[in-house]
Amino acid sequence: MSILKKALTTAALASALIAGSAYAQDGEKMRIALVAKALGIGFFEAANKGAQEAAAELGDVEIIYTGPTDTTAEGQIEVINSLIAQRVDAIAISANDTNALVPTLKKAMDRGITVISWDSGVAPEGRQMQLNPSSAPLIGNTIIKLAADHLPEGGDVAVLSATTTSTNQNTWIAEMDKVKGDYPNVNVVGTVYGDDLADKSYREAQGLMQTYPDLKAIIAPTSVGIVAAAQAVTDAGKVGQVNVTGLGLPSEMAGHVKSGASKSFAIWNPIDLGYSATMIAYHLAKGDATAEPGAVIPTGRMGEVTLDENTEAAMADPFTYDASNIDEFSSIF
């Protein structure tokens, strides 16, 4: 009996040490701090909603949602210092500065606190893992899929991008080209550049409709371009003929979704992001997952994420917004 007891104690001790976390499994709730870039921003309030949802699902988790008043690194450091002082179990942060937070977050990790970054990342030495909302291949696939979904008979589609040198857009379009074969009905006729300027994007969208009279959809993987294209389609009286899709912000796109100029578009969902960040922080702090390249960490209803060689992970496909959910999200961000 005593040997068994000893063995059990040793095992418990060992596992606690291996876990290397401050999480005391004595019935107390695990405290996970969700740190925003600044308070009072709809995107982060929505992420908090997701974190609360995850906490309710996990049961033994308390979320501390906090952040500075302004989006400064100094403000976030004060917040982190007070979280270290409270000996929270995990910190999940969207960083105002990739580098300036590193010394403070290192101190947090030294004191046994699990540290992950989400949305806006921290340099690798200052966190255990970074959760990106999505990844280039997922985005590239999503934007063409959105166009294909509303083109059962297929047809011509064109891309309205930002500038010729926009790294993000170029990567996404290149990824889209890779998977074009999966959507044989969709014929991508060309790419134009609106330079992320509203008036230039508008003129380029007009030009597309004149050059390709049979155009069925415009894909704009930029929040400026998608609004301008939707406006150009509306003004040309082509709502219903030309569908505008791509990446945009719900608050800016709500009107165009309701008018039918855009049947659907995508962007990351902050609620899912806060939810997944909480799930990951929970598993890392609990010690039943480790943040190392190749590790797979469960994220509840979102499935799971796999860490790459930089211990970064992509959460999911961008979330699709259409008439059914636009009202809910347009007030958030």
Partner 1 sequence: MTEQTGRQIPDRLTSPLSRALKSWEALLLVVAAAIFIANSLASPYFLDPWNLSDATFNFTEKAMIAFAMALLIISGEIDLSVGAIIALASTVMGLAMTAGAGTPVLVALGLGTGLACGAFNGLLVARFGLPSIVVTIGTMSLFRGISYIVLGDSAFTGYPASFGWFGQGYVFWVITVELVIFALAAIVFGVLLHRTNFGRMVYAIGNNATAARFSGIRVERIKFTLFLLTGLMSGIAAICLTSRLGSTRPSIAAGFELEVVTIVVLGGVSILGGSGSIPGVVLAAFVMGLVTFGLGLLNVPGIVMSIIVGALLIAVIALPRLWSMVRR
CA atoms within 13 Å, Cβ hemisphere of 122: 26
Among 9, 10, 15, 99, binds partner 1 (CB under 8 A): 99
SS3 call for 204:
helix
Closer residue to partner 1 (CB): 81 or 185: 81
Report if residue 22 touches partner 1, rule: CB under 8 A.
Answer: no
Q: In terms of Cα–Cα distance, which of 218, 174, 164, 172 is closest to 196? A: 164
Q: How far is CA 89 from the centre of its chain?
A: 23
Q: Which residues contact 84 (CB under 8 A, 6 or more apart)?
A: 104, 107, 108, 111, 113
Q: How many residues bind partner 1 (CB under 8 A)?
A: 29
Report if residue 191 touches partner 1, rule: CB under 8 A.
Answer: no
Among 78, 214, 235, 292, binds partner 1 (CB under 8 A): 78
Only segment of 95-103, 211-219, 222-230, 302-310 that touches partner 1 (CB under 8 A):
95-103
Cβ atoms of residues 147 and 245 within 8 Å? yes
Shortest Å, Cβ 52 to partner 1 = 14
Computed on alpha carbons and rounded to an integer, the radius of gyration of the chain in Å comes to: 23
Report if residue 310 touches partner 1, rule: CB under 8 A.
Answer: no
Shortest Å, Cβ 38 to partner 1 = 8
Among 19, 37, 68, 140, binds partner 1 (CB under 8 A): 68
CA quadruple 52, 58, 62, 66: dihedral sign: negative
Shortest Å, Cβ 82 to partner 1 = 3
- Name the residue type at position 240: G
CA atoms of 133 and 124, how far apart (whole Å): 17
Closer residue to partner 1 (CB): 61 or 205: 61
CA atoms of 128 and 285, how far apart (whole Å): 11
Shortest Å, Cβ 76 to partner 1 = 10
Among 4, 5, 69, 153, binds partner 1 (CB under 8 A): 69
Q: Which residues contact 296 (CB under 8 A, 6 or more apart)?
A: 289, 304, 305, 306, 307
Shortest Å, Cβ 304 to partner 1 = 30
Among 28, 60, 74, 288, binds partner 1 (CB under 8 A): 74
Report if residue 102 touches partner 1, rule: CB under 8 A.
Answer: yes
- Contacting partner 1 within 104-133 (CB under 8 A): 123
Give 28's DSSP letter: P
CA atoms of 172 and 141, how far apart (whole Å): 8
Write down the H helix ranges in 33-72.
42-58
Among 10, 86, 211, 306, binds partner 1 (CB under 8 A): 86
Report if residue 85 touches partner 1, rule: CB under 8 A.
Answer: yes
Report if residue 41 touches partner 1, rule: CB under 8 A.
Answer: no
SS3 call for 133:
coil
- Binding positions for partner 1, rule: CB under 8 A: 38-40, 64, 66-70, 72-75, 77-79, 81-82, 84-87, 97-100, 102-103, 123
